[in-house]
Structure 1
Amino acid sequence: MPSQPSDRTAPATAPGVAAEMWLDYDPVARRLPGMHLGTRTLGAPAGAAVTELHTAGVRCIRLPEAVRLCADAPAHSAHALMLIREATGRGLAVLWDAVCDDGCVARRLYHHLYPPEHVIGAPEGIVTDWRATYFPSKCIFRRGPGFVEVRDRRSGTLELITVDEAGHLDRLEALTEDINAGELPDAVRRDFAGAGLIAEHAGRAWWLPMRVRRWPFPAFTV
């Protein structure tokens, strides 16, 4: 049986997020003996924390605390969203609730993430649309020699975005875990925000697309 993940990816200063874990996606299988791994606090970096879970055999996590999506969300919610991004990219099922009361969810910024069970404060149709239109690799990026390519279908049509300016590329890797929004050059912040590639919470900016690790379909269909 896969080993149980540890907490070593979570520095003491990280905005830890509690996550309940199972070794299977299926609700019936999750009730079988040995499938439940308990609850852990997942800290930063989000990518390393989720990679450890995946390596340990975790295939489903539940976040017991609702995650706020709006611009005034605290750093805690931003870290939870980054964990959901990483879990989605790794193919984990994520059981979670979102909170939105300013309409930001209607922009579909987060519709590439594994869909929440409920969106508290939003019309019922929002979560129905999110779940109905979700598919893996909906908004992904890959790094090439001297460029990053983003393939984004959150709007319903494929948008191809190539990032090749040195100033933008310099900040991109740091953005995958979040950085102080004030450290972003104005042009970088404007371009990434205008394309819906970053979100900002609690004075921090972070990268929305998921890192692609392998093409699940022929490239022209993703």
Structure 2
Amino acid sequence: MTEVILWRDYGRPETVLGTRSGPSLATVAEFYAEGARHAVLPSLVDLAADAEASTVQSLTLVRELTAWGIAVDWRLRLPGDAEMWPALGHLHPPAEVVDHPSIRDQWRSSYHFCKCVDRHGPGFVEIRDFRSGRLRKLIISDPRYRQAIEALRDGPPLASLPAPIARDLISAGLVGLVGARAWWLPYRVRRWPLASDII
């Protein structure tokens, strides 16, 4: 599991809650309930390395911390094709993008909450994706796809998913790949922070 240091307040030593492990949905909900509003990932998230499982765990932890509105300090190394970063631009901006300070600055200046999210209703998943600069809305009601989405939240091996469904979700830009693992990119919101026709 990925380690994270939790704080009640940003940068105030007296508010540290200690070191925990993530990244499950339930675990991060517990972090929030405990009072965590700031988190630090001590280890570099290295998309250029071979450690697929730990990298996906770290990315899903950042996704879940972002979903709960917990500010997270993390460091990222991108693979050779650093231009893939906008696919991650809905996550809380990293404190450092190794060898790419301009990407870090772009990320920070373009970030806003609810940039790529999903919301679950009875029998459907609604996705709102603003990463391209234009709002794209998708409704997924097919139970096979909804089941795949739930499986993807923890970053399973890509081969464990039905190939046609995985291909569709990847081509829609909703699934990230780290080596042989796949993970769901949008983060879940429980209620819209603004009127639903605004975001």
The TM-score with structure 1 as length reference comes to 0.83
Q: Which runs of 5+ in 2 are unaligned?
A: none
- Please tell me whether the aligned partners of residues 71 and 200 of structure 1 are also in contact (alpha carbons under 8 angstroms): no
Q: Which amino acid aligns with 1:154?
A: R
Question: How many equivalent pairs are there?
Answer: 199
Q: Which residue of 2 aligns with 1:115?
A: 93
Q: 1:75, 1:173 → 2: CA distance?
A: 17
Evaluate the alpha carbon distance shift between residue 18 and residue 71 of structure 1 in structure 2; reply closer, same or farther with a 3 A threshold.
closer
Q: Which runs of 5+ in 1 are unaligned?
A: 1-15
Q: Please report how far the alpha carbon of residue 71 of structure 1 lies from its aligned counterpart in structure 2 after TM superposition.
A: 8.6
- Cα deviation, residue 38, structure 1: 2.4
Give the equivalent residue in structure 1 for 2:16: 36
1:132 and 1:191 mapped to 2: Cα distance?
Answer: 31
1:140-177 CA distance string (max 9 Å, x none): 00122322110001111111112122321221112112
Matched, 1:60 2:45: no
Could you say which residue in structure 1 is the equivalent of 2:149?
172
| Structure-2 separation of matches of 1:72 and 1:215 | 37
Q: Which secondary structure state, in structure 2, belongs to the residue aligned with residue 216 of structure 1? A: coil
Q: Does 1:181 align with 2:166?
A: no
Secondary structure of 1:189's aligned partner = helix
Letter in 1 for 2:43: E
Tell me how far apart the structure 1 counterparts of residues 83 and 31 of structure 2 sit (CA, whole Å).
28
Counterpart position of 1:18: 3
Aligned sequence identity (%): 39
Which is higher, the Rg of structure 1 or of structure 2?
A: 1
Q: Which runs of 4+ in 1 moved over 4 A?
A: 70-73
Deviations along 1:73-122, whole A, 9 cap, x unmatched? 52111101101111101010101111113224545111110000111133
Q: Structure 2 vs 1, CA of residues 104 and 196 (structure 1 numbering), >3 Å: closer, same or farther?
A: farther
Normalized against structure 2, the TM-score is what?
0.92
Task: Give the Cα–Cα distance (whole angstroms) in 2 for the partners of residues 73 and 163 of structure 1.
Answer: 32
Taking only aligned residues, the RMSD between alpha carbons, in angstroms, comes to 1.8
